[in-house]
Amino acid sequence: MSVTQSSIHPPIQSSPFIAANDRINTMAHTASTPSEQAAQWPLETLRHTAAHVMAHAVLRLFPGAKLDIGPAIAEGFYYDFDLPQPISEDDLPRIEAEMRRIIKEDLPLSRVELPHDEAVRRLEQAGQAYKVARLNGEIADATVSVYEQGDFFDLCRGPHLPSTGAVRAFKLLSIAGAYWRGDERNPMLTRIYGTAFPTQQELEEHLRLLEEAKRRDHRKLGKDLDLFSLHDEGPGFPLFHPKGMVVWNELMAFWNQLHDQHGYVQLRTPILLRKACWEQSGHWEHYRDKMYATSIDEEEYAVKPMNCVGAMLYYRSRLHSYRELPMRIAEVGVVHRHEKSGELHGLLRVRQFTQDDAHIFMTPEQIRDEVLGVMSLVDTAYSTFGLPYHLELSTRPPKSIGSNEAWAAATAGLRAALDAKGLPYKVNEGEGAFYGPKIDFHVRDALGRTWQCATIQLDFAMPEKFDLTYVGADNQRHRPVMIHRVVYGAIERFIAVLIEHFAGAFPLWLAPEQVRVAPIAEAQAPYAAEVHRALAQAGVRAALDARSEKIGHKIREATLEKVPYVAVVGPRELAARAVAVRKRGEGDLGSCPLADFVERVRREIALKAR
């Protein structure tokens, strides 16, 4: 059922505050210099140790600060504090300076095992109420470990670097509010984010990528390029502007073409359905927190959070023969899910989005080929955008429905498809949905970040719940197997990924404006209008800049707006019925006969050239 929850929201790095094992204490310490030491340990260990150093520094600077947790995360580390006074990012250099002192002191981190009650006593004495609460809550072990560095100690399972001196290249990055245990009824703590690397060079490269990510932020570029906007009047409900709609429509035209080629039909199912329907599907029981509801004629209705139910109603609307299977039924459907306001983020995390969904109904024997078909469709789509990807297979979780045979058959079907494809894939044991295993596609963007977009999920539950059947060759009724799948995931989110991947410089076929025609002087205005018309007639999105601005200014503006081509028209071009071509990223390509230029642009668009 939750085909898309994961595809919409990138998985959040799990951040247990206590790392799982203690290998560091059993490893031989042979490295001689601190940076060699740092390079020897897993990055996680280095970063978590940096978090300890930061906590130590914060305690020195803000006596009375209370500590919660300080895990390593994908990009660095953080620590949550309850501080005696509010701080801002202006305080970060001061904390960094104190951290450098602690690193210079080269304090050994030593592990002390304490009986549970003694650890509680010691932390109570130190006024560390959050640590005490965690000890009295989720940490029930008879003995717990405390790590000491100089006068600082912290409840922690380790591992850490042997001494603070081994932390070399680090930087504190930002401050955010974070509710204790992520619950908004709890006090708001101050979270300080930082990162650390074995070498200064790696740190600098990472900081450069962070800067680049800021420059490419889709919220900023979406505004600069006039693609979409976000309004207080509807938090989480993005508004697409005309230029954004051009990108949207091009994506969908490509999508429609691909799905026609792959034998899909399309539905448009209702946004609102009776509550009873959502009870039957199980959404009301399992997903209600995320659903919007209303009443019509004093009866309860709910807004769809997924498109599945409509597809079930369609399938069930008449009897099916095995000869009709597989049935590939797509729906580009608008869904709504309630997200907490603090978690909304541009187009990446929204409350209304459009899934490029499809449900495939088939016999169990058809699983492998159908999965291969979806994989080939996804591959065509992503390679068109130049997005490399990797695959992950998630298998049966501990809590699940369906028989062992059904799970075995479904998982074997997915594996057979993956093996037939010959691509490497990662297996996430026990991380499938409770109703079936799945394959996820993780694309890698130009900055090396990964985004989960497409997903293929097998489902046993829904056909059961809606009593879907087909008549087999034996004239008996059988239960079809079902796939939920998306290719882009959510159109809104995919556009955000594309904006950041291309830094707003969309490939020609997606660009809201493909060619800007710019006459140098008034005398070429009529010919420039003719150039504009010729392009428009060839189906090219062209605009004419007939203002009496200097040509350099016109070109600069077109460059800022990331228009792929500028066709400059001066006296020589007029005389030769040509245009002087400037290409984004390549500069001046020289003069080109008008007819050839139109043909060149038309061909590049048709080829979806990048």
Contact window for Zn ion (CB under 5 A) among 55-63, 281-289, 308-316, 553-561? 308-316
Q: Which is nearer to Zn ion, 218 or 484 (CB)?
A: 484
**Cα dihedral 395→400→404→410 (10° resolution):** -40
**Residue 205: both structure tokens together:** 């490269």
**Cα dihedral 408→413→419→420 (10° resolution):** 160
Tokens 């897993």 — which residue?
A: 42
Asked if 393 interacts with Zn ion (CB under 5 A), we say no
357 labelled catalytic: yes
Check: CB of residue 433 under 8 Å from CB of residue 407.
no
Q: Minimum distance between the CB of residue 3 and Zn ion, rounded to whole angstroms?
A: 5
Q: Minimum distance between the CB of residue 307 and Zn ion, rounded to whole angstroms?
A: 6
Q: Which of 37, 149, 355, 457 is catalytic?
A: 355
User: How far is CA 240 from each of CA 215, 247, 335, 495, 561, rounded to the nearest angstrom?
Assistant: 21, 10, 16, 11, 17
Asked if 119 interacts with Zn ion (CB under 5 A), we say no
Q: Which of 283, 304, 328, 337 is catalytic?
A: 337
Over the Cα atoms of the chain, what is R_g? 29
Asked if 335 interacts with Zn ion (CB under 5 A), we say no
Q: Minimum distance between the CB of residue 118 and Zn ion, rounded to whole angstroms?
A: 18
Contact window for Zn ion (CB under 5 A) among 104-112, 177-185, 435-443, 479-487? 479-487
Site string for Zn ion, 151-170 (x = CB under 5 A): -----x--------------
CA distance 329 to 267: 7
399 labelled catalytic: no
Q: How many residues sit close enough to Zn ion to count as binding (CB under 5 A)?
A: 4
Tokens 């079907």 — which residue?
A: 413
Q: Which is nearer to Zn ion, 22 or 75 (CB)?
A: 22
Q: Which of 349, 484, 532, 541 is catalytic?
A: 484
CA distance 308 to 435: 14
- Amino acid identity of residue 322, one-letter, is Y
Asked if 308 interacts with Zn ion (CB under 5 A), we say yes
Q: Rounded to an integer, what is the distance from CA 179 to the centroid of its chain?
A: 23
Q: Give the footprint of Zn ion on residues 540-559 (CB under 5 A).
A: none
128 labelled catalytic: no
337 labelled catalytic: yes
CA-nearest of 431, 366, 358 to 392 is 431
Q: Write the burial class of residue 22 (CB in 10 Å: 0-12 exposed, 13-18 middle, 19+ buried).
A: middle
CA distance 90 to 255: 48
Contact window for Zn ion (CB under 5 A) among 59-67, 403-411, 440-448, 482-490? 482-490
User: How far is CA 461 from each of CA 33, 121, 398, rounded to the nearest angstrom?
Assistant: 58, 50, 16
Q: Minimum distance between the CB of residue 610 and Zn ion, rounded to whole angstroms?
A: 32
Q: Rounded to an integer, what is the distance from CA 516 to the centroid of its chain?
A: 33
Q: Which is nearer to Zn ion, 91 or 331 (CB)?
A: 331
Q: Minimum distance between the CB of residue 212 and Zn ion, rounded to whole angstroms?
A: 31
CA distance 25 to 217: 42
Q: Minimum distance between the CB of residue 484 and Zn ion, rounded to whole angstroms?
A: 3
Q: Which of 171, 359, 396, 582 is catalytic?
A: 359
Q: Which of 438, 485, 541, 554 is catalytic?
A: 438
Q: Which is nearer to Zn ion, 312 or 498 (CB)?
A: 312
Check: CB of residue 79 under 8 Å from CB of residue 131.
no
Q: Which is nearer to Zn ion, 244 or 463 (CB)?
A: 463
Which of 484, 493, 532, 562 contacts Zn ion by CB under 5 A? 484
- Amino acid identity of residue 188, one-letter, is M
438 labelled catalytic: yes
CA-nearest of 256, 260, 265, 301 to 283 is 301
Contact window for Zn ion (CB under 5 A) among 29-37, 132-140, 150-158, 529-537? 150-158
Q: Minimum distance between the CB of residue 270 and Zn ion, rounded to whole angstroms?
A: 15
Q: Minimum distance between the CB of residue 40 and Zn ion, rounded to whole angstroms?
A: 18
Q: Report, as residue numbers or ranges, the catalytic residues.
A: 308, 337, 355, 357, 359, 438, 484
| Residue numbers at the binding site for Zn ion (CB under 5 A) | 3, 156, 308, 484
